[in-house]
Amino acid sequence: MTHVEKSTCRSCAAYCPVDVAIEKGKVVKVEGNHDAPLYNGFICPKGRALTAMHNNPARLKTHLKRQPDGSFAPISSAQLVAEVSEKIAAIIADRGPRAVAAYLGSPGLDHQALGPMMTRFMSAIGSPNLFNNGTIDQPGLMIAPALHGTWAGGRMHPDTLDVFMLFGGNPVISKQYFAQHPGNQLKKLTNSGMKLIVIDPRRTETARRAAVHLQCIPGEDPTIIAGLIHLIIEMGAVDQSFVARNAQGLEQLAAAVRDFTPAYVAERAGIDAGSLREAAQIIATARRGDFGSGTGPSMATRGTLMAYLMFCLQTLRGFWAEEGDTAVMPRVLFPLQQFKAQPNPPYPGWGFGVKMRVRDLQQTAAGMPTGALPEEILMPGEGQIKALFLHGGAMVTWPQEALVKEALQALDLLIVHDVELSTTASMAHYIIATKVSFEIPVMTQINELLSLFHPGYGWVEPYGAYQPALFDPPADFDVLEAWQIYYRVAQRLGLQLEYPSFIDLLGIAAKDAPAESDIPLKHRMDMEREPSTDELYEMMCEGSVVPLSTVKQYPSGHLFDEARQVVGPRDPDCTARLELANPVMLEELADIRAEAVAERRKTDADYPFLFISRRIQNSTNAVSSTDRSVLHKPYNPAYMNPEDLARLGLASGDRVEISSRHGSIIGFVEAENDLRRGVLSMTHGFGKKPGDDYDPKRDGANVNRLTSWTDDYDRYNGMPRMSAIPISVKPFAE
Ligand SMILES: Nc1nc2c(c(=O)[nH]1)N[C@H]1C(S)=C(S)[C@@H](COP(=O)(O)OP(=O)(O)OC[C@H]3O[C@@H](n4cnc5c(=O)[nH]c(N)nc54)[C@H](O)[C@@H]3O)O[C@H]1N2
Ligand SMILES: Nc1nc2c(c(=O)[nH]1)N[C@H]1C(S)=C(S)[C@@H](COP(=O)(O)OP(=O)(O)OC[C@H]3O[C@@H](n4cnc5c(=O)[nH]c(N)nc54)[C@H](O)[C@@H]3O)O[C@H]1N2
Ligand code: SF4
Ligand SMILES: [Mo]
């Protein structure tokens, strides 16, 4: 007999609701849940592939311990916890707590209790070295709000927009922005009059819906935004009353963009000046608008400046929610946030917290710089990192694979969580076998959390969902949930952990919560009796607008009207202002205007092409890198414009050697008409271990052999050049 249970796909942050058909305790089919609001039953191929992923024959059944000869042998949970505890204690005793580091990547989407527990564990041992993927992703979107200030009323509701402008993102594939069935949402919005402006070297699935598509040379986003600001000022389209009340620095900003004339910008960014003017015209005449950016421009260096200028342009047009507007992304599983039509002042983007020993990198508003981590492991001396808890696909997702390998090998203790023996897991001293999605309860809080840092995540409407774990792992498995190692090691070391409540972790409730609320601010975890994941979720949702117990009553998810908020009036005594002229940002902009473009871009006769990042529907980052067969397309083609291919005497399916100044990979090319000439576009997250033979058409290739941590890195957050990388492309002689 088959029965159907409700759950949620966690293979990307879209969190699509699914119907899971189960037969004899096994997943037999996964489909979209048509009863769920907002999604229209949508799922992508990775959602359907959950069936195969749950029945993955390569799945780790037990934890593994590296043996002296390099092979792996099973180890029980109890023994694992005992050995890891002993080693961590010894490292702390010998080298101090900073020697212990942790990295949290996308597996946090599956394991929601992981982030809070890891954070508590790291503070209990006294180590600041907690890194995450934010600093190799879009850190600028977290730092720019600090430099510009934020709008306490939030963004304008998508249904009310005249224009949405997107720099280097592709929601139809990535589901970053318009995450619930993005194709459908964009179609509806553009059909009902919203004009879409897309800036991307590729005519993406999203760009096809655009009123204006600026098919730019990669890495020129700050130039283009400066050009748009120039035009908006020149056209007299600055919302003067909004700016007068809410911002400062217009004159300096105007001076800084004066020389970014349409002719200059068009020439430099390889776009048509008329199209740039057309985009400016749409923005100038729109009454309501919103802007977003994705990974492309962030990775093409200067991501902070790009995001900063984007916020400035948004402020110049007054494109922030007005008093009386329906607030977007109201809290559901977090404590109440009051929306007000007023600015929150800027706050430090860097210059606080922890300084790294390498390259003057430091903690920023985007967290600790992952760009410093490999060197911090390799550099001897006080403060050297000796142990690392790793949740992610570092060997293929971190830049400069060779240095990552060297660093991981240099550790005294590398603990990698995984569901299979991936390229990254195979580097570890201990591999912790973890539960897979449907063995873990799921709730929507994590995306609400992400929306606090990135406007492209979460739900515009007050959506909430929770579903319980559907299965226990098979009886012969000995696996853990990702948070458990932190609790159990703390327990063995006699450490007291704090409660994983977000009220404390983010300090979000304290100022916004109604005065009468008596939310207790400090809690001690019970270190005798291990909580269940569900109990942890209760703790994490403490003080939420909608109690988790209420959300649990709706297995298909629900829009909670009681959570809806309206943007309130400005406080009479509000004097905060949004900053249009952050000196560091304007200085960087001046550098751009002064620099020799070719020198900066670094293309020349030897490296004539630009390599750019992109996502494909069939894979999320490093997920399932050893057994991608479940996803039908186990490789990452090297997409190029057919004219470029012809010029190089290549045809689709040919093997090529792709080289940057840092390394080479073998790829195979596929013609893509939609790509700008002179660029090659390829997805990360693929590839085998260095030294292993690979067939690009079977295994894919690791594009992070082309990157380097020290290539044009952001001077504060350390993010290196990961898109717009100069490369050569040559036929590969077998
Ligand atoms: N060149 C280049 N590099 C990039 C990017 C790029 O565009 N270009 N993108 C960057 C971005 S935006 C990000 S967010 C990072 C993401 O990179 P990471 O932060 O490393 O995260 P993932 O690759 O998503 O991590 C998934 C992997 O973690 C392991 N894993 C650990 N625990 C679990 C678990 O409990 N369950 C499962 N299923 N797997 C687990 C599995 O091996 C899985 O493949 O990559 C970055 N790297
Ligand atoms: N299917 C799928 N979905 C995912 C992921 C995945 O791996 N697969 N990863 C998830 C993660 S971790 C993230 S962070 C999000 C990312 O979400 P997005 O940022 O929307 O991801 P991409 O689809 O890579 O879009 C980046 C776009 O930038 C363009 N681009 C590259 N260089 C430049 C440049 O210099 N300037 C401009 N303007 N554009 C440029 C590329 O052509 C590409 O279309 O997606 C998430 N969703
Ligand atoms: S878009 Fe695909 S991978 Fe992402 S949550 Fe939905 S079904 Fe899963
Ligand atoms: Mo990401």
Residue 632, pLDDT score: 59
How far is 3 from 21, CA to CA, in rounded Å? 6
At 631, is the pLDDT very low, low, confident or very high (cuts 50, 70, 90)?
A: low
At 52, is the pLDDT very low, low, confident or very high (cuts 50, 70, 90)?
A: confident
Q: Alpha helices of 496-627 — where are they, by DSSP H?
A: 502-506, 508-512, 533-540, 548-551, 583-594, 597-601
How far is 322 from 345, CA to CA, in rounded Å? 18
- Joined together, the tokens standing for residue 279 give 């985009």
How far is 500 from 262, CA to CA, in rounded Å? 51
- CA–centroid distance, residue 219 to ligand 4 (Å): 18
How far is 332 from 468, CA to CA, in rounded Å? 18
Ligand nearest to the CA of 199: 2
What is the percent of the chain where pLDDT is above 70? 96
Ligand 2 atom with the smallest distance to the CA of 137 is 14
At 489, is the pLDDT very low, low, confident or very high (cuts 50, 70, 90)?
A: very high
Whether the predicted pLDDT of 695 surpasses 90: no
- Residue ID of nearest Cα to ligand 1 atom 44: 623
For 234-291, the pLDDT digits (tens) are: 999 999 999 999 999 999 999 999 999 999 999 999 999 999 999 999 999 999 999 9
Ligand nearest to the CA of 620: 2
Whether the predicted pLDDT of 187 surpasses 60: yes
Helix (H, G, I), strand (E, B) or coil at 332: coil
- Residue ID of nearest Cα to ligand 2 atom 45: 174
- Name residue 731's amino acid: P
Mean pLDDT within 710-717: 95
Residue 630, pLDDT score: 59
Ligand 1 atom with the smallest distance to the CA of 722 is 1
Ligand 2 atom with the smallest distance to the CA of 177 is 20
At 519, is the pLDDT very low, low, confident or very high (cuts 50, 70, 90)?
A: very low
Helix (H, G, I), strand (E, B) or coil at 495: coil
**Residue 537 vs residue 698, higher pLDDT:** 537
For 309-356, the pLDDT digits (tens) are: 999 999 999 999 999 999 999 999 999 999 999 999 999 999 998 899
Q: Is any atom of ligand 3 closer than 6 Å to the C-beta of 619?
A: no
Q: Is any atom of ligand 3 closer than 6 Å to the C-beta of 44?
A: yes
Mean pLDDT within 514-540: 78
Residue 515, pLDDT score: 42
Ligand nearest to the CA of 49: 3
- CA–centroid distance, residue 394 to ligand 1 (Å): 7
Ligand 2 atom with the smallest distance to the CA of 724 is 35
Q: Is any atom of ligand 1 closer than 6 Å to the C-beta of 424?
A: yes
Cβ(47)–Cβ(29) below 8 Å: no
How far is 634 from 624, CA to CA, in rounded Å? 9
Match 């993955």 to its residue by tokens.
56
- CA–centroid distance, residue 174 to ligand 2 (Å): 6
Ligand 3 atom with the smallest distance to the CA of 43 is 7
Q: Is any atom of ligand 2 closer than 6 Å to the C-beta of 205?
A: no
Residue 509, pLDDT score: 44
- CA–centroid distance, residue 15 to ligand 3 (Å): 6
Q: Is any atom of ligand 1 closer than 6 Å to the C-beta of 531?
A: no
Whether the predicted pLDDT of 95 surpasses 80: yes
State which of 170, 175, 621 you would mutate to test the pocket of ligand 3, scoring each by most atoms of that ligand within 8 A of its C-beta.
Answer: 175
Mean pLDDT lowest among 43-52, 62-71, 154-163, 381-390: 43-52
- CA–centroid distance, residue 175 to ligand 3 (Å): 8
At 694, is the pLDDT very low, low, confident or very high (cuts 50, 70, 90)?
A: confident
φ and ψ at residue 485, rounded to 5 degrees? -60, -35
- Residue ID of nearest Cα to ligand 1 atom 23: 622
At 148, is the pLDDT very low, low, confident or very high (cuts 50, 70, 90)?
A: very high
At 627, is the pLDDT very low, low, confident or very high (cuts 50, 70, 90)?
A: low
φ and ψ at residue 699, rounded to 5 degrees? -105, -15
Ligand 2 atom with the smallest distance to the CA of 106 is 12
Ligand 2 atom with the smallest distance to the CA of 224 is 38
- Residue ID of nearest Cα to ligand 1 atom 46: 397
Residue 635, pLDDT score: 86
Neighbours of 385 (CB within 10 A): 27
Residue 511, pLDDT score: 40
Residue 123, pLDDT score: 93
Ligand nearest to the CA of 176: 2
Ligand nearest to the CA of 225: 2
How far is 135 from 299, CA to CA, in rounded Å? 10
- Residue ID of nearest Cα to ligand 2 atom 12: 621
Mean pLDDT within 8-28: 96
- CA–centroid distance, residue 369 to ligand 3 (Å): 28
Whether the predicted pLDDT of 518 surpasses 50: no
Residue 508, pLDDT score: 54
For 578-590, the pLDDT digits (tens) are: 999 999 999 999 9
Ligand nearest to the CA of 615: 2
Q: Is any atom of ligand 1 closer than 6 Å to the C-beta of 613?
A: yes
At 458, is the pLDDT very low, low, confident or very high (cuts 50, 70, 90)?
A: very high
Parallel, antiparallel or unpaired: strands 413-418 and 442-443: unpaired
Whether the predicted pLDDT of 517 surpasses 80: no
How far is 657 from 729, CA to CA, in rounded Å? 6
Please, what sign has the CA dihedral across residues 640, 641, 642, 645? Answer: negative
State which of 298, 623, 636, 711 you would mutate to test the pocket of ligand 1, scoring each by most atoms of that ligand within 8 A of its C-beta.
Answer: 623
Q: Is any atom of ligand 1 closer than 6 Å to the C-beta of 685?
A: yes
Mean pLDDT lowest among 26-40, 95-109, 619-633, 700-714: 619-633
Ligand nearest to the CA of 174: 2
Alpha carbons within 13 A on the beta-carbon side of 556: 13
How far is 660 from 605, CA to CA, in rounded Å? 13
Residue 522, pLDDT score: 61
For 538-548, the pLDDT digits (tens) are: 999 999 999 99
- Name residue 689's amino acid: K
Query: Rounded to a whole number, what is the distance in angstroms from the first to the last CA of the chain?
Result: 53
- Residue ID of nearest Cα to ligand 1 atom 4: 397
Ligand nearest to the CA of 202: 2
Q: Is any atom of ligand 1 closer than 6 Å to the C-beta of 337?
A: no
- Joined together, the tokens standing for residue 565 give 């908020």
Residue 330 burial by CB count (10 A; 0-12/13-18/19+): exposed, middle or buried? buried
Beta bridge partners of 292: 166
Give how far the C-alpha of residue 155 lies from the chain's centroid of Cα atoms, to the nearest Å.
20
Count, residues in the chain: 734
Rounded CA Rg of the chain: 25
Q: Is any atom of ligand 3 closer than 6 Å to the C-beta of 166?
A: no
Q: CA–CA distance from 219 to each of 231, 398, 723 (Å)?
A: 20, 20, 8
Q: Is any atom of ligand 2 closer than 6 Å to the C-beta of 660?
A: no
- CA–centroid distance, residue 201 to ligand 2 (Å): 12
Ligand 3 atom with the smallest distance to the CA of 44 is 2
Residue 516, pLDDT score: 44
Residue 514, pLDDT score: 41
Helix (H, G, I), strand (E, B) or coil at 490: helix
Ligand 2 atom with the smallest distance to the CA of 293 is 19
- Joined together, the tokens standing for residue 13 give 């942050």
Q: Is any atom of ligand 1 closer than 6 Å to the C-beta of 397?
A: yes
State the average pLDDT for the chain: 95
Residue 625, pLDDT score: 47
Q: Is any atom of ligand 2 closer than 6 Å to the C-beta of 614?
A: yes
- CA–centroid distance, residue 614 to ligand 2 (Å): 5
Neighbours of 692 (CB within 10 A): 9
Q: Is any atom of ligand 1 closer than 6 Å to the C-beta of 707?
A: yes
Q: Is any atom of ligand 2 closer than 6 Å to the C-beta of 173?
A: yes
- CA–centroid distance, residue 180 to ligand 3 (Å): 9
Q: Is any atom of ligand 1 closer than 6 Å to the C-beta of 645?
A: no
